[in-house]
Structures are given as structure tokens and as C-alpha cells.
Amino acid sequence: MPKTRSFNPPGLFRSILCPVDFSEHSAVALRYAAILTKQSAGRLHVLHVNDPMLAAAAAVAFADRDYAKVALAELRPFVAKALPASTMKAISIRYAVETGDATRMIVSAAQRFRCDLIVMGTHGLSGLEKVLIGSTTERMLHRASLPVLAIPLSPAEAMGVQEPARLWPGAAILAPMDLREQSQRDIREAEQIARAFGTDLVLVHVVPPLQAPPWYRPDLSAHQRMQVTKAQRQLESLAKTVGPGVTTEIRVAAGRPADEISALAAEERIGLVVMHLRRGPGLLGSRAGSIAAHVLRHAVTPVLALPGRAVNRPSDARASSRKRVRTLPVR
């Protein structure tokens, strides 16, 4: 994997890689990538990765013509059809075709093009019958050393509506907090992204249910209420560290983290969930990216998955301005 690099949210992402497989859903992911490219005045790299076996079979079908060259020739009209003409004129686009293992080729291309974001869909040519979570997208979430924006298939898209919202990501972004030692760094990074998009920031923590054996009789509800109250106070403290210009809301829920995050994103009409990729606590904790992958299986909200590392604190003055913090009721 390439070395992890920090990014510059005020300009957001300047070099963006979007792998496509010529499916309609990858065209939707391409539109999100183009929005970000246009916003940051950066460059969009569009990549198609050939399966080696398909390339070998195609060599026969194309009478020994180079399948990569054929794919490259098809890539340009695919992008032109997916993006509005005004967007095509406004952004710089680079096209590439590789043959090999999809995950390795995506990682290699991101390193070669010095990308700071990968945008990819969760459904491929096989459509609804086979979700790429569990294969390429999930492997990228588990192994990512740079941010990955994963675009799930929405009900509207399944019905033929394939455009991102005009003002995506909308009024607010959602940032789950695990309230561990990295929380201060996590909230700084979430704040930078909210500031770059000009959105509010909703901080959420989910208190997972206690797993007790069947013979354990005592009522655990009081303990869980204590955990919820403690998390609420911690989130309030974190929210106060957010600088001026970003209105912050907090929310605490109890239940399975991925389910509660998905439900909250839907209820609040959130356009983007920002999650950090780390394994769960303990020796047998969940694998990095597991919760993000689960959210993508159950939600229709794009997920920006960030590697678990810090970025530079923005230079804006904080101490002299008062912040508005809105607390939402506990679910």
C-alpha cells in the first residue's frame, strides 16, 4: 500500500481517482467524483481495470487487437455520456486502463497519480444481485491508506434517478465518534471536511449492547443509561472544540453501531457520512473498515472512509469566537 498522505480540506481533494467498470452505478460514482474535482479545481483520473481472463478471451473476439486499447477508446465516450458537457469543460480528466487484480491496480494507480481520494461505487456490472462490498470495495475499506468515498446504490438510483443532489452533500454531514484516544484528531478532521463543504456537523456515538451469557440475571439497562449519559457529556465536550463557522449537533444512540448510524443518516437526510477506519477495541476487535462496510450494506448515504491518522489543524482562530452547539435528544 502507498504511504498515507494528509489532505488539504480547504481545497478539498485535488487529485481524485475513480475506478469504473462501464456499469451505470460506476457512472453515478463518477458524477460524485466530478463534483469534488470541480469544487477543488483538481484533476480527475478515471481508471478501468481489466480482468486478465477477460482480456485473454477478448483478444480472440477482437482478432488479437489489444483489449486495453479498445477499453481505453470506450472509456472516453462513457465518461462523456456520464457527465454534463459543462462539467467536462470545467475539469481536467485523465484516462487509464490497467489489467490485473482490481484492488492492486487501484492502489497502484492512486500512488502513481499521487491521488488523495478514491471514489468508487458499491455495485458493479452484476447489479443488485452482487454487491461489491465483500470484494473490491470492501478490500479498499480494509486496506485504505488514503480516503475512500464509497457510493452505495440508492432506491432513487434503482428507479432510474442517477444524479447526485444538486447541493450535495446538503446541510450537514454525519461523523460517528468512537470516543477513544483518537477522538480529538477525528473531530478536527471532520470539522475540516464540514468547513470545506460549508455544512453543519452532526457528531454521533453509539453505545453498543452488552453481551451477557443467558444465565446472567441482573438488569443491564441502568448500566447502559449511564454509558449513554457519559457519552453525551463526552460529545458535548468534543463539540465545544469545533471552531467558529461550523454549527455542531450531537446525538447518542444505543444499539448496533452500523445499524444506528445508517438509521440516523436516513432520518436526518444526511448526504455524507465521514468515518475513520480503525479496528474495534480489544485483541479480537472488529477489523478496520468493518463498520463502514456494514453501513454501506444498509444505507443509501455515501460514506467517506478516512484512514486512522491525523491531519494538520487549520490555522483559523478559535478562542476568540463563541460556538453554537445544538444537542439532540437521546434516541
Q: Read off the CATH number of the domain in which 24 is found.
A: 3.40.50.620
The answer to whether residue 31 sits within a structural domain is: yes
Q: What is the pLDDT of residues 128-167, one digit of tens each?
A: 333 333 368 778 877 778 899 999 876 555 444 456 877 8
Integer Cα distance of 220 and 213 in angstroms: 12
Q: How sure is the predictor about 55, in pLDDT bands with cuts at 50, 70 and 90?
A: low
* Residue 66 confidence (pLDDT): 72
If asked whether residues 153 and 185 sit together in one domain, one would say no
Integer Cα distance of 250 and 235 in angstroms: 6
The answer to whether residue 55 sits within a structural domain is: yes
* Residue 54 confidence (pLDDT): 62
Give the structural domain span for 111: 9-158
**Which one of 158, 186, 207 terminates a domain?**
158
If asked whether residues 193 and 151 sit together in one domain, one would say no
Predicted confidence (pLDDT) at residue 232 exceeds the cutoff of 50: yes
The alpha carbon of 174 is separated from its chain's Cα centroid by a whole number of angstroms, namely 11
% of the chain with per-residue pLDDT over 90: 46
Cis preceding-peptide flag for 257 (omega within 30 of 0)? no
- How many domains does one find in the chain? 2
Q: DSSP E strands: which ranges in the chain?
A: 15-19, 43-50, 92-99, 117-121, 148-151, 172-176, 200-207, 248-254, 273-277, 303-307, 325-327
Q: Are 151 and 118 in contact (CB under 8 A)?
A: no
The answer to whether residue 181 sits within a structural domain is: yes
Q: Rounded mean pLDDT of 79-89?
A: 94
Chain mean pLDDT for the chain: 79
Q: How sure is the predictor about 284, in pLDDT bands with cuts at 50, 70 and 90?
A: very low
If asked whether residues 213 and 131 sit together in one domain, one would say no
**Which one of 129, 158, 187 terminates a domain?**
158
**Pairing between β-strand 117-121 and β-strand 92-99 as defined by DSSP bridges:** unpaired
The answer to whether residue 3 sits within a structural domain is: no
